[in-house]
Amino acid sequence: MKLGQQFPFLRTISIWRFRLLRWLRWIFGQDLAISHHTTPLPFLVASHESVLLRKLGNSDQRLQQNKIINLKLATAKISGILIKPGETFSFWRTVGWASKKKGFVTGMLLSNGKVTEGIGGGLCQSANLLYWMALHSPLVVTERHRHSYDIFPDSGRVLPFGTGAAVYYNYVDLQFFNPTKLTFQILIGVDATHLHGEIRSSALTPISYKIHEVDHRFTRSKKTGQIFRENAIYRKSFNKRTGQLISNKLLYKNHCETLYTSVVGTPIVEVR
């Protein structure tokens, strides 16, 4: 058993240490995006939307309804933010502490492979959407944390496995940097059925991007019986004017333990 599980106060001390270090970095170490502009910038760079209510195993639907409340509060803070040349967007610096005092409610949280609940739960959906859009833009992702486990079987998945972003105030953050001479703007919001977002820019960008996966499979350890999910995520870059492929870059490989044992439609490969 890990010390943090045996002595919970040690985990609390560690969390607050990491939070303090993050606050200090925000104050002294980064040029962070803080300006907002309500009028959309003229050029669309990337857009995406995701369904608000999905079947996630046997999870409590009440928590998903509460998630919508949390998403509305978070997206109100994010939408319209400008990322000027040389600035970094920080999810938590922009959203702030998701506290009960600010109107956030109990939602679903994923922690150490377990489904729990807590104030502000469900905000990972907005981080997932922001990360996906950033991958389709010239913005450079400088901090992103993957989920440690694949907890639920797929239900209406439209994006490749392993392209989400975990967030936990404030040191498990999502950040991306603007290395260009353009200004970018995030627009994000919630309607009756979807979370939707756009990244817009002050001028046309010359490159378009496409994210794709290869070598997706499930494996089962002959020794332990554990099931893992694997793939590799690539990003293709294209010249917008000519359509010519510029590069096909490996972003990362995923190897993640699943916490479900039934896999539909995909064979499981037995490995040592």
Contact, 195 vs 75, CB < 8 A? Answer: yes
Q: With a cut of 50, say whether residue 1 has pLDDT above it.
A: no
pLDDT bucket at 88, cuts 50 / 70 / 90: very high
Nearest CA to 93 out of 31, 44, 137, 49 is that of 31
Among 2-11, 31-40, 156-165, the minimum mean pLDDT is found in 2-11
Convert the pLDDT of each residue in 152-165 to its tens digit: 887 767 899 999 99
Convert the pLDDT of each residue in 173-230 to its tens digit: 999 999 999 999 999 999 999 999 999 999 999 999 999 999 999 999 999 999 999 9
Cβ-defined contacts of 11-15 (< 8 Å, 24+): 15/171
Determine the average pLDDT of the residues in 26-43. 94
How much is the pLDDT for 42?
A: 98
C-alpha 151/C-alpha 165 separation (Å) is 14
Q: How many residues does the chain have?
A: 272
pLDDT bucket at 2, cuts 50 / 70 / 90: low
**Cβ contacts of 7 within 8 Å, gap of 6 or more:** none
Contact, 179 vs 27, CB < 8 A? Answer: no
251: tokens are 């972003």
Strands 207-221 and 268-271: parallel
Residue 30: burial class (beta carbons within 10 Å; 0-12, 13-18, 19+): middle
